Amino acid sequence: MPAKIFRDPWVLRSFQHQQTVNSSLKSSLNFLLHPVPDAVAVPVKPAPKIERPAVESLPPQPAPLDRPLKVGVLTDLEWHDKAGGHVKCWEKFAQAAGELADELDLTLHFIGAEDKTIVLKPNVRLRLSPAVLNTRWIPANAAGPGHSDLAPLKPSLFSQLKHYDVIHCTDVFASAKTALLHARLAGTPVVKSIHTDLPKFTRIYSRDMIRKLSGGGRLSDWLTGSLGLHEWFARNMQRKLERFVSRCDHVLYSREDDLRWLGDLQPAANLSRLRRGIDKSAFNPRHNNRYGFGEWGIPGDRFLLLFAGRVDDSKGAMILARAARRLLDKGYPAHVVFAGTGASEQDIRTLLGRHVTLPGTVSQARLAELYASCDLFVFPSHTETFGNVCLEACSSGMPIVVPEGEPMTQFISRPGIDGFTVAGDDPEQWANTIEPLIKHPEKLARASLLTREHIEKFWPSWKDVLRDDLLAAWKGVFRKQ
């Protein structure tokens, strides 16, 4: 540029301003793209460890706004009819948001094949956009938890974030990182909710990927055994999660165990609980259709065990399959239904033969019929932060069998009477817990009545949870701003 142009005061001021902006943006991008060591990173001072009661109360209720609050929810998972519980959860919140049009304008962002907006209600919409670095492109990735976006940023999102009063992140991937950068530049408050045990999922699926890429054998054993590479990935994911949480304005948790580490990163006032709702009409014993599954070959005259979710190690599918094998070997008339898809399907078919049905992913309506028609819901998962499928089963009048100490035990009011727990992952123990319920149908019938009664009396709807847990938190951080 000719030197004389710099003598123009207006041009000089514009040039200097642009240099300042460029420097700020470069610094912000470097912060996310190339995290610096903790010693020189932007300091995050943990909250002082003081004695305080368990966080159960919600944020203080703010004064009503004079317009609907505009909230963008970012989820780096693919949206489609076979999506898992994380996506389904937000679909239920979207349905409930249509009844809160005077208070909330809600946009849910998911990964889609193309840029697309789906209007659900005048105040509710889905916004789909392609991933920048889709995990579908990674060799040997089974994507059990659902395909995500591993890019450091999602640039196309910036122009949309400026329209929101509050940004809500449900994970820590590309869209969430972009939200943090936008928040630093624009001051928009960011809320984080914990839906998935990311470190556990990382441990399980990175181990599987390492085994596939290394071809198994001694190299695989060394990488996952002596070297413990999958454990390193899990610890790294925990560090990323903690870094992200520490930079948010509010965090919603679902299980009490998460307070052990969240309390070191956020003050108590910035933490509140996120429950899940239930549609007690959709998931109801009246949908019993026990002899209506002829297309799947489910025998209505057998003792029906039901599992719903990813059919792989992350949900403990093989624990149930092996327990069922033991029951069959003892002569009990058991039949297992695995509603879902996953890496363990073929192993289960081989183990159980004609005593198992694997219908794949089923619609919500058919799943509700399965809940109401089968005898017992068995879910040996250790990766849940809540366990939506267990709540749906209980609402349908089907007792649950779950691991001791996991979040799903919250749906059992009287252990051993209206629901059952198992200590450990030994299939023999699981079979021993199920066996008395096959031998004593009156015990199962009582548990069925009591578990439905408990949900009917005490569990909230999706609208209740949206209003009391989410909207209260969103309004709280907006008011602080």
Report pLDDT for 84. Answer: 84
Interhelix angle 174-186/9-33, rounded to 10 degrees, is: 140
285-459 folds as Rossmann fold (3.40.50)
The number of residues in the chain equals: 481
| Lookup: tokens for 215 | 């071809």
Positive or negative CA dihedral for 183, 235, 30, 134? negative
**N-terminal to C-terminal alpha carbon distance within the chain:** 42
Overall CATH class of domain 69-277+463-480: alpha beta
Strand ranges across the sheet with 116-121: 116-121, 124-129, 104-111, 69-78, 166-169, 190-193, 250-253, 271-273
Predicted structure pTM score:
0.81
Which region holds residue 426: left if phi is over 0, alpha if psi is between -120 and 50, else beta? beta
CA-to-CA distance for 58 and 48, rounded, in angstroms? 21
CA distance 70 to 44: 28
Maximum C-alpha span of the chain = 96
pLDDT at 41: 40
Nearest to 292 by CA among 200, 193, 369, 395: 369
Token pair for residue 468? 């009391």
Do 325 and 305 meet the contact criterion of CB atoms below 8 Å apart? no
pLDDT value of residue 12:
36
Closest Cα to residue 249, out of 12, 478, 8, 10? 478
Q: What was the pLDDT predicted at 27?
A: 44
Residue 289: per-residue pLDDT: 95
How far is 122 from 106, CA to CA, in rounded Å? 10
Cβ distance 132 to 154 under 8 Å? yes
Of 393, 364, 374, residue with least CA distance to 324:
374
Token readout for 97 is 């948001």
pLDDT in tens, the chain (481 residues): 433 333 333 333 433 444 443 444 344 434 333 443 343 344 444 444 434 334 444 455 545 578 999 999 999 999 988 888 899 999 999 999 999 999 999 999 999 999 999 999 999 999 999 999 998 887 666 555 578 999 999 999 999 999 999 999 999 999 999 999 999 999 999 999 999 888 988 888 888 888 888 888 888 889 888 889 999 999 999 999 999 999 999 999 999 889 989 999 999 999 999 999 999 999 999 999 999 998 999 999 999 999 999 999 999 999 999 999 999 999 999 999 999 999 999 999 999 999 999 999 999 999 999 999 999 999 999 999 999 999 999 999 999 999 999 999 999 999 999 999 999 999 999 999 999 999 999 999 999 999 999 999 999 999 999 999 999 999 999 999 7
Counting other chains too, the contacts that 347-353 makes at CB distance below 8 Å and 24 or more residues apart are: 347/318, 347/321, 348/311, 348/317, 348/318, 348/321, 351/321, 351/322, 351/325, 352/321, 352/324, 352/325, 352/328
Indicate if 285-459 has the same CATH topology as 69-277+463-480: yes
Q: Enumerate the domain spans of the chain.
A: 69-277+463-480, 285-459
